Amino acid sequence: MKRREILRRSAAAGLLATPAAGLLTGCATSGGDDKGDGGAYQGTKSEQNPLGVKEDAPLEVVIFNGGFGEEYAKAHEAMYQEKYPKAEIKHSATQEISKTLQPRFVDGSPPDVVNNSGAGQIDFNGLVSQNALADLGELLAAPSLDVPGKTVRDTLLPGTVEVGSYDGRFLVLNYTYTVYGIWHSTKLFADRGWSYAKTWDEHIALCRQIKAAGIAPWTYAGLHPRYMSWPLISTAIKLGGPSVALAIDNLEPNAWKSDAMKTAADAWHQIVKDKFILAGSPGLDHKQSQTAWCQGKAAFISCGSWLESEQKDVTPAGFNMTVAPTPSLGSGDKLPFEAIRGTAGEPFMVPAKAKNTAGGLEYFRTMLSRKGAQDFTRKVASLPVVAGATDGVELPFGLATVVKALDASGANGFNWVYNNYYRKLERNLVDAACGEFFSGRISPTEFLDQCQRGADSIAQDNSVKKYKRAA
Amino acid sequence: MRHGRLPLILSFLLPPLAIYGIFVLSPYLQAFQISTTDWLGYSAQADQVGLANFRTLLHDGYVWNALRNNAILLAVVPVVTIALGLFFASMLTMGGRKGRAGVTGVRGTALYRLVYFFPQVLSVVIIALLWKEIYSPTSGLLNGALRAIGLAEPPAWLGDPRFAFWCVLAVMVWSNVGFYVVLFGAAMQAIPRDIYEAVLLDGASRATMLRKITIPLLWDTIQVAWIYLAIAALDGFILVQLMTNGGPNFSSDVIGLRMYDTSFGSENKFGYASAIGVAMFFLTLSVAVLALRTARRDRIEYS
Amino acid sequence: MSTVRAGVPADRPPRRETGVANVFSHGFLLLWAAMTILPLAWMLLSSLKSNGEIIADPWGLPEALRFDNWARAWTTAHIGRFFLNSLVVVAGSLSLTMLLGATAAYVFARYEFRGRQVVYYLFVGGMMFPVFLALVPLFFVVRSVGLLGTWPGLILVYTAYSLPFTVFFLTAFFRTLPTSVAEAAMIDGCGHFRLFFRVMLPMARPGLISVGIFNFLSHWNQFLLPQVLIPGDGPNRMLAQGLSSLAVSQGYAGDYAQLFAGLTIAVLPVLVVYVAFQRQIQAGLTAGQLK
C-alpha cells in the first residue's frame, strides 16, 4: 500500500529529524558545510586547457529565460560540448532565478553557471558579501579561444571588467553591451516630418507638436517606473559630468540633491506638468507600455537596447526603432549631446561552491570567443561585450542605431552602478519615487528628497556591504 | 471495555503528530531561531544578533506602512463581506416569500447561489491574474467599460496609489462574498418560518426583520465567518504580490509581502524576514485568540 | 443538502414590501451576478482573441475564434500536464489529511488522557502560524527527509499544514455526535477500532464532507508551498506554478491570449465539476459550518 509506505517513510524520518529539531541543532543556518565542494572537478592545466577543465566533468548551466530566450545559450553549450565531448551538460532556463536557485545556494550545491538576470535576479550585494561567487580573474588572463595572441581581457569592450568588479575582484561577467537611451520610430517621425531634438527646449517644443498631432509624446512602464530614472539621471550627468554618477554610486551625502540632479528633475517635470505622457501609463507594465509605443500611441519611450529583441513579435514592419541620447540641457553641459549611457549588462556568474568552477570559466571563454559572440549577435540581435562581434553580421535596424550611437558617444560614454551595488535602492526605493514623480503626485524637490532618503537608508543599514568606486 | 483503548490512541494520534511535528513545528521553531541571526541566505554563515532584528523592526517605516494596510484589511474586509453576504442571503431566502412571484424567486435563488459561489472554486492565483488584467488601464475590462460610457481618462487603477490598495481589497471581498451568501443562506433556512411570519404579521419591515431576528439568530455563524475573514485579511499576500507587488510607492504593501520581499525579493535578509514573520505570528495569534474568546463567551449567552 | 432547496410554504401572508424595493433589491442581485460572471466570460472571450484584438479593444468580439491560443497554452505552457499533476497531488494529500485528521480528532474528542489539552492546543495552534515564516526551514526539513521536489513530499507537507484546521473542526464535530450510539455499540462487543470505522466515521459524514471540500480548495489553491518545495522548471510542478510562470513569461513575451487561454483551461474543469455537484458542494461546505 502506497499510503502506508509514505507513512512508514515519514515515521522513520521523524525519528531522525525530531530530536535534532528539538535541540535546534539541525537548523538551516548551522546545517551547511562552509567548506563545500567548490571546484571539486579539477583537470590538469595545459596550453590547450589553461583553466584546468576536467574533460568528463558535468556542467550545469541555468539561463534566465527573458527577452533573449535560451536558444543562444544552447548554441554556446553545443560549442562547449564540441570541445569536451565527454562532459554531460545540464541546461535549464527559468524566469525566476532567485526562487529557483536560492535554496541551492544555501544548500551549497549551486549550478556551475548562472545567468543571474531579470526581475527575479539574486541580489549581488548579498552574494558578493558572502563570498558566494567565484573569482573570474583567471578567465581574464586566459588566452582567447579563437583570437590568436590575445587574452580574454584583450577582447572585451572597455568597462566590462569594471562593472563586474567588486572591491577589485572580477566576479560577474556582464555578457551584453547595453545602451540606455530614448527610443522613437524613424518611420513615424519621417511620416510626420519630425526630427529628434538635441536640446531640451527643442524637445519640449517637439512634444507640444506631437501632442497637437493627437499622439502622446511619452509613455513609460508605470509599474516599473525606474525606467524613467535612466534618462533623468543621464540628463544630470551630461549637465554636471560623471562626478554626478560617482557621488550617487558611492552613497555620498546629498548626492541625489546635487545641482545637476535638481536641474534635470526640474526639466523632466515639464513633460509631467504639460501632460505629455500617455494617459494610463502609470498602470502599464514594461511590456504594455512598449507595446503601446510600438502601436504609435506614444512617440518616445525610455529603454535599454534589449528593446528591439523584446518587442520583436509586436513591432509593425517598417517601424524602424532608433535609439538616441537624452537631449542636452544647454551649452553649459559638461558632456556633448552624443554622450550616451552604455554598460555591460546581462550578468553571468560562477558560484564559488559550484562543483565545476573550471568548467564554468571555460564556458565563459566559449561565450566570449569570437564565434560564440557572433552567434549571439545573430540569434538575439544584441551586442555582446566582445570586440568585433558584429563584424560580418547583418544587424537589424534598431541594433544598427545602437552601434552608431555608441560610436558617436565614444569616450564621452558614461554609466552608473549603484543599481548593481544596492539592488534594493533602484528596484524599490528610486522606483517608488519615480512612480510618484512621473504620475505628477510629487514635485521635483520631493522626488529628489525621496530618492535621497532611500540612499540614506541604505547607507545607514549595517547589514548591507558598501562599495566605493574611484572613477 | 478497556481493551484496545491504548492501541487506538497511539495509532490514531502518533502518525498525525509525527507529520505535524516534523513539517510544522520544527520549521517554526527554527524560524524563531533564525530571527535572532543576521543570516543572509546564500551561505551557512550567520551571526547571533540577539533581538537586534526586532529593534530594527520597530523603526522600519515600511513595515509599519504594511501593517497599517493589514489593519485596514482587517477592519474593512470582514465587515463589507459579511454585510454583503447577509444582504444577498436574506434577499435570496426571502425572495421566495413574495406573494405569487414566489415561484420565480426560488428558481432565481438557485441560479444566483450557483453563480455567486463561482469565485470560491477558483484558485487565488487565477483570481489575481485575471483581475490584474481587468484593471489594466488600456486593455482592461473595467476601463473599456468606463471609456464606453464616455469617461475619457479613466484611472490607472493598480498604477495609482490612491486606488491600488482598494482595488486589491475589492477583489478580496469579491472572491469571498459568494461563500458567505451560501453559508448565511443555509443558516437562514434553518430558522423556523413561523418566526418570520409572526413578525411580518406585526408589520415589521424587512430591515427590522434582518436586524431583530436574522442577525441575532445567525450570530454564531457570523462569528465563524468573522474569524475566517480576519485570518484571510492578515494574509492577502498572494493577491497583493501578483496584482501590485505592493506598489505603487508601497501603497498596497502588506506585511506578508514585506516578509517575502525581505527574504526572496529585493533583499535576502532571512534573519530579518524571520523576525517579521515572528511578529506576524504573534499578531495573528492575538487576533485569533481575541476572536475565539469573544465567540466562546457569546455562544454561552445564546445557547 | 436538503436545506438549500427547502421549499417555501404556499400559504404565505401577503407582503407589505413595495414593488420599488423589489426592483431595487433585484437590481443588486443582478449586479453582483454580473460582476461575478463578467470577468469569467471576458477571460473566456479573450482566450479566443488575437493579441492585437485584446490590446485594441477589451470589449470587442474576436474576428475568428482562435483556438490555437489554447493549443499554445496546452503544449508550450503545459497547462494540461500541470493540471493533472495538481489533481494527483491533491487526491493524495486530501486522503491523507482526512484519514489522519479524523483519527486524531476522534481521539481528542472521545478519549481522556493525560496531557490531552496541551497536545490539542499545540496541534490546533498551528492554524495561527503564517505559513511562510516556516518556508526556509521547511525546505531543509523536506530535503533532509529526501523528499524535496517530489510529490510525496508535497503531499506530506500539505497534510501537515491542513491538520490543525481539520482536527479543530472534526474534534468539535465528533463532540456533537450522541454518545448513546457509541455506548450501545460498545455493549454489543464492538471494539475501539471497529467502533470508529464502522459507527463513528459514517456518523461524521457531513463533517467529513465539509472539511474535505474545504481542504480540497485550500490544497488546490496552494501556491507558496509548491513554489518552494518543487523548485525549478520541472515537469512535475503544480498548476498554480505553471500559471504564474505563464504570467511572468507573458511579461516578457506579451502573449496575453496565451495567458487567458491558460487561465481558461485551468478554470473550466473546476467550474464544470462545481456546476455538476454544486448542491453537494455548497451543502457540504455550509452544513459543517452550522454545527
- Rounded Cα–Cα distance for residues A277 and A432 (Å): 18
Chain-centroid distance of CA C140 in Å reads: 27
Asked if residues C62 and C48 have their Cβ atoms less than 8 Å apart, the reply is: yes
Range 141-160 of B in CB contact (< 8 A) with A: 143, 153-160
> Domain for residue B12, yes or no?
no
Phi, psi of A215 (to 5 degrees): -115, 140
Residues C114, C118, C120, C121: what is their CA dihedral angle, to the nearest 10 degrees?
Answer: 170
- Rounded Cα–Cα distance for residues A456 and A451 (Å): 9
Looking at residues A245-260, what average pLDDT do you find? 95
Provide the pLDDT for residue C19: 53
- pLDDT tier, B137 (very low <50, low <70, confident <90, very high otherwise): confident
Q: In chain C, which residue's Cα lies nearest the Cα of B141? A: C58
Asked if residues B90 and C254 have their Cβ atoms less than 8 Å apart, the reply is: no
Task: Answer with the residue of higher pLDDT: B206 or C40.
Answer: C40
Looking at residues A387-398, what average pLDDT do you find? 86
Question: What is the per-residue pLDDT across B240-271, written as a single tens digit (0 to 9) for each?
Answer: 988 998 878 899 999 989 988 888 777 778 88
The CATH number of residue B208's host domain is: 1.10.3720.10
- The DSSP symbol for B135 reads T
Superfamily classification of domain A35-177+344-400: Periplasmic binding protein-like II (3.40.190.10)
Provide the pLDDT for residue A329: 94
- pLDDT tier, C40 (very low <50, low <70, confident <90, very high otherwise): very high
Question: What is the per-residue pLDDT across C163-203, written as a single tens digit (0 to 9) for each?
Answer: 998 998 899 888 888 888 777 877 777 788 888 888 888 88
Query: Is C282's pLDDT higher than 80?
Result: no
Question: What is the per-residue pLDDT across C64-108, written as a single tens digit (0 to 9) for each?
Answer: 888 888 888 888 888 888 989 999 999 999 999 999 999 999 999
Provide the pLDDT for residue C232: 67
Residues of chain A with CATH 3.40.190.10: 35-177+344-400, 179-340+414-460
Chains linked to C by 3 or more Cβ pairs within 8 Å: A, B
Average pLDDT, chain A: 87
Provide the pLDDT for residue C12: 45
Looking at residues A18-42, what average pLDDT do you find? 45
Question: What is the per-residue pLDDT across B165-222, written as a single tens digit (0 to 9) for each?
Answer: 999 999 999 999 998 998 888 888 777 777 777 777 777 777 777 777 788 888 878 8
Locate cell 540581435: which residue? A381
| Cβ-defined contact of B266 to A123 (cutoff 8 Å) | yes
- pLDDT tier, A30 (very low <50, low <70, confident <90, very high otherwise): very low
| Cβ-defined contact of B277 to C130 (cutoff 8 Å) | yes
Provide the pLDDT for residue A465: 86
Phi, psi of C101 (to 5 degrees): -65, -45
- The DSSP symbol for A344 reads E
Asked if residues A365 and A51 have their Cβ atoms less than 8 Å apart, the reply is: yes
Class of domain A179-340+414-460 (CATH, top level): alpha beta
- Rounded Cα–Cα distance for residues A99 and B265 (Å): 9
Provide the pLDDT for residue C283: 74
- Rounded Cα–Cα distance for residues B261 and B245 (Å): 9
- B chain contacts of residue C114, beta-carbon cutoff 8 Å: none
| Cβ-defined contact of A283 to B157 (cutoff 8 Å) | yes
- The count of structural domains within chain B is 1
Provide the pLDDT for residue A435: 93
Question: What is the per-residue pLDDT across C106-129, written as a single tens digit (0 to 9) for each?
Answer: 999 988 888 888 889 888 877 767
Q: What is the maximum alpha-carbon separation in chain C?
A: 75
- Rounded Cα–Cα distance for residues A380 and A308 (Å): 9
Which of A10-24, B75-89, B275-289 is the least confident region? A10-24
> Domain for residue B36, yes or no?
no
- C chain contacts of residue B7, beta-carbon cutoff 8 Å: 192-193
Locate cell 470587442: which residue? C60
Provide the pLDDT for residue A25: 33
Task: Answer with the residue of higher pLDDT: A262 or A5.
Answer: A262
Query: Is A17's pLDDT higher than 50?
Result: no
Domains in chain C with CATH codes: 18-72 (no CATH), 78-254 (1.10.3720.10)
Task: Answer with the residue of higher pLDDT: A4 or B216.
Answer: B216
Query: Is C252's pLDDT higher than 70?
Result: no
Question: What is the per-residue pLDDT across B58-68, written as a single tens digit (0 to 9) for each?
Answer: 988 899 999 99
Asked if residues A363 and A59 have their Cβ atoms less than 8 Å apart, the reply is: yes
Provide the pLDDT for residue A118: 82
Asked if residues A465 and B279 have their Cβ atoms less than 8 Å apart, the reply is: no
- Rounded Cα–Cα distance for residues B264 and B279 (Å): 18
Burial class (CB in 10 A: 0-12, 13-18, 19+), A168: exposed
Provide the pLDDT for residue C99: 94
Beta strands in A17-106, from DSSP E residues, in sequence order: 59-64, 89-94
- Rounded Cα–Cα distance for residues B143 and B134 (Å): 8
Provide the pLDDT for residue A101: 83
| Cβ-defined contact of B42 to A281 (cutoff 8 Å) | no
Query: What stretches of A274-415 show up as alpha helix (H) in DSSP?
Result: 286-294, 307-310, 357-367, 370-380, 397-409
Residues with Cβ within 8 Å of A74's Cβ and at least 6 positions away in sequence, in order, are A91
Provide the pLDDT for residue A175: 94
Asked if residues A378 and A393 have their Cβ atoms less than 8 Å apart, the reply is: yes
Mutation site for C-interface testing, chosen from A287, A293, A309, A315 by largest number of C Cβ within 10 Å: A287
- Rounded Cα–Cα distance for residues A81 and A63 (Å): 17
Query: Is C2's pLDDT higher than 60?
Result: no
- pLDDT tier, C11 (very low <50, low <70, confident <90, very high otherwise): very low
Looking at residues A52-78, what average pLDDT do you find? 90
Provide the pLDDT for residue C289: 55
* Domain that includes residue B293, residue range: 60-302
Chains linked to A by 3 or more Cβ pairs within 8 Å: B, C
Provide the pLDDT for residue A4: 33
Query: Is B156's pLDDT higher than 60?
Result: yes
- Rounded Cα–Cα distance for residues A336 and A375 (Å): 34
Task: Answer with the residue of higher pLDDT: A230 or A95.
Answer: A230
- Prior bond to B248 cis, omega within 30? yes
Provide the pLDDT for residue A75: 94
Over the range B242-253, which residues count as b (16 or more CB within 10 Å of their CB) and which as e? bbbbbbbbbbbb
Tell me the three cell numbers of residue B288: 485569533
- Rounded Cα–Cα distance for residues B264 and B272 (Å): 12
| Cβ-defined contact of A439 to B156 (cutoff 8 Å) | yes
- Rounded Cα–Cα distance for residues A185 and A191 (Å): 10
* The one-letter amino acid at A237: I
Provide the pLDDT for residue A210: 96
List, in sequence order, every residue forming a beta bridge with A62; answer none if it has no partner: A92, A114
Which of A124-133, A183-192, A338-347, B161-170 is the least confident region? A124-133
**C-alpha distances in Å from residue A134, one per residue of A113, A130, A131:** 10, 11, 8
Provide the pLDDT for residue B300: 40
- The DSSP symbol for B99 reads G
Model-level ipTM above the cut of 0.85: no
Average pLDDT, chain C: 81
- pLDDT tier, A322 (very low <50, low <70, confident <90, very high otherwise): very high
Provide the pLDDT for residue B3: 62
Average pLDDT, chain B: 82
Question: What is the per-residue pLDDT across B80-99, written as a single tens digit (0 to 9) for each?
Answer: 999 999 988 888 877 544 44
Provide the pLDDT for residue B252: 92
Task: Answer with the residue of higher pLDDT: A101 or A324.
Answer: A324
> What DSSP letter does each residue of A228-252 carry, written as one string?
GHHHHHHHHHHHH-THHHHHHHTT-
* The one-letter amino acid at B260: Y
Provide the pLDDT for residue C251: 62
Provide the pLDDT for residue C248: 72
Chain B, chain C: beta-carbon pairs less than 8 Å apart: 283
Which of A128-137, A153-162, B17-26, C252-261 is the least confident region? C252-261
List, in sequence order, every residue forming a beta bridge with A133; answer none if it has no partner: A351
- Rounded Cα–Cα distance for residues A340 and A395 (Å): 20
- Rounded Cα–Cα distance for residues B80 and A254 (Å): 46
Q: Three-state DSSP class for C48?
A: coil
- Rounded Cα–Cα distance for residues A454 and A452 (Å): 5
- Rounded Cα–Cα distance for residues A212 and C261 (Å): 39
Looking at residues B278-283, what average pLDDT do you find? 85
- Rounded Cα–Cα distance for residues B11 and B189 (Å): 41
Q: Three-state DSSP class for C259?
A: helix
Burial class (CB in 10 A: 0-12, 13-18, 19+), A394: exposed
Asked if residues C152 and A2 have their Cβ atoms less than 8 Å apart, the reply is: no
